[in-house]
Amino acid sequence: MMGLFSSLMSSFLLLAILGFGLVLIVSGNAEVDALYAWKMNLSDPNSVLQSWDATLVNPCTWFNVTCNSDNSVTHIDLGNANLSGQLVPQLGQLSNLQNLEAYGNNLNGTIPDEFGNLTNLVSLELFFNRLSGPIPGTLGKLQKLRELRLNNNNLSGNIPMSLTNVGSLQVLDFSNNHLTGDIPNNGSFSVLTPLSFHNNPGLKPPKYQTSPLPPAPSSSAASSSVLSVSSGSLLLGLCSCLFSLHYLLVLLPYQD
């Protein structure tokens, strides 16, 4: 009798423990999983990620990870941390991330398309790494992005036109890469200087529209032809003056 009771008791206990474990697994933290997936991809000779413990309920106590009051990650500061490995697509799940600083490491591989899902990102600092492949066009979805520094990597391909739609952009540095094609000069790119694109041997300076010539005076409008000729030459003079100015300010810096 006692034996039956205790075996019933222990199976009940076993079930309870199993159930509790299941609840723990189900309620696991997605941001812990995303950051831990990145840690698993990295080699970390200085052990800066030692506190990145996947069994904690959230990543808010992890070294150089900052959260908001809802325990959701807003900042990752891993500049000059001697990390090597790759950026992982799971990082795109950090929906409240505002700053991702991972400059000055040895990261290689590509920038994941999934970074376009980081719609709260304000600053993306990945300069001085060994990243290759294209700049994802999905970054054009980051409508709060103010600073995008990808300089001193091995990025190739064209500059995505979608980035011209990021109205919040204030600082952009793509210098010292292997980008090719045309440099956009409209939208958010209209305020950028050649310094942002320096030392990408395959990049062409922006194409500027040449001013259309004034219409030739027609013989039927003889009385107004003098006026239109003189205003035409005035326009031409203005154009060439503007062009020289433009050459000095914009085109000249490209001719190293």
The residue nearest ligand NAG at its CB is 187
Nearer to ligand NAG, 90 or 173 (CB): 90
Binding footprint of ligand NAG, residue count (CB under 6 A): 32
Minimal distance in Å, beta carbon 203 to ligand NAG?
Answer: 15
The one among 29, 39, 44, 48 contacting ligand NAG by CB under 6 A: 48
Q: Fill in the per-residue mask, 150 to 189: x = in contact with ligand NAG (CB under 6 A), - = not in contact.
A: ----x-x----x--xx------------------x-xx--
CA 102, CA 49: separation in Å to the nearest integer?
13
What sign does the CA torsion over 131, 136, 141, 146 have?
positive
Task: Tell me if 99 contacts ligand NAG by CB under 6 A.
Answer: no
Minimal distance in Å, beta carbon 246 to ligand NAG?
Answer: 19
Q: Fill in the per-residue mask, 52 to 81: x = in contact with ligand NAG (CB under 6 A), - = not in contact.
A: ------------x------------xxx-x
Residues of this chain, 104-123, that bind ligand NAG according to CB under 6 A:
108-109, 113-114, 116-117
Nearer to ligand NAG, 114 or 147 (CB): 114
Task: Tell me if 205 contacts ligand NAG by CB under 6 A.
Answer: no
Can you give the binding site for ligand NAG, defined by CB under 6 A? 40-41, 45-46, 48, 64, 77-79, 81-82, 86, 88-89, 92, 108-109, 113-114, 116-117, 130, 132, 138, 154, 156, 161, 164-165, 184, 186-187
